Amino acid sequence: MSLNLINIAKKFKKDWIFRNVNYQFEIPGTYVIKGSNGSGKSTLLKLISSYLSASEGSQELNLNSKDISIENWSKHIAYAAPYFELIEDMYLDEFVEFYIKFKPLRNGISKNDLIKIAYLEASRDKQIKNFSSGMKQRLKLALAWLSDVSIILLDEPVSNLDKKGIEWYKNLATKYAEDKLVIVCSNNIPDEFFFCEHSLNIEDFIKGSNS
């Protein structure tokens, strides 16, 4: 099983963010995408998720000997990022119930388990708009790690987490990364990708062409 990027490129207006990205992610497997701020890490992750479309190239996803059409990739992917918004007018209990209608949780994990694992039991009757940034990040990460998917995408996962929250994240990664494809984008923060076996530097790919 694998996810393949074939000559992937992304252009915004006249500027190429990156070009000629050829890479194969094995499933299961753990990978980190590194690069400086503005180098295109988050853009590449959005392309991998099918949230954005590539300007050039193609993407292939094979699961259990079946080729998955790109319009169905979202069913197999969980994505956590600081820039993804939650439905803030919903109460926590209501939101998790809504989420799992579209993306079920891992076998043996219930809605109550997820809330407990995220250390949000005392807030289940609160609206998400009243959560701290750290609480929101724990919820996003718990949903990603505990969803019944083949691929987990994490962009700067320790953003908004304190020291205790970072240790919590590391425990989840140790426990739940083994049987998935996990791709982490990081500004070279080792706590985010300590478990990753493979590394991809986005700055290795051509960018800056105006042609």
pLDDT digits (tens, 9 = 90+) for 161-185: 999 999 999 999 999 999 999 999 9
Non-local (6+) Cβ contacts of 133 within 8 A are 160
CA 92-100-136 angle, to 5 degrees, is 35
Question: pLDDT digit string (tens) for 93-151?
Answer: 999 999 999 999 999 999 999 999 999 999 999 999 999 999 999 999 999 999 999 99
pLDDT 10s digits, 26-49: 999 999 999 888 889 999 999 999
**What does the pLDDT read at residue 210?**
44
* Phi-psi domain of 80 (left: phi exceeds 0; alpha: psi -120 through 50; beta: other): beta
Into which CATH architecture does domain 2-204 fall? Answer: 3-Layer(aba) Sandwich (3.40)
Would you list the domain boundaries of the chain?
2-204
Give the DSSP H/E element, type plus range, for residue 119. none
Closest CA to 24 of 2, 51, 56: 2
Least confident of 79-88, 91-100, 162-171, 200-209: 200-209
Q: Report the alpha-carbon distance of residue 27 to residue 204 in Å, rounded.
A: 23
Q: Could you tell me if 9 and 201 are in contact, meaning their C-beta atoms sit under 8 angstroms apart?
A: no
- The pLDDT of residue 2: 97
Residue 189 confidence class, pLDDT cut points 50, 70, 90: very high
Choose among 45, 46, 48, 77: nearest CA to 60. Answer: 48
Distant-in-sequence contacts of 13-17, Cβ < 8 A, 24+ apart: 14/210, 15/208, 15/210, 16/55, 16/206, 16/207, 16/208, 16/209, 16/210, 17/43, 17/207
Residue 211: predicted pLDDT:
44
pLDDT value at position 37?
84
Phi, psi of 33 (to 5 degrees): -105, 120
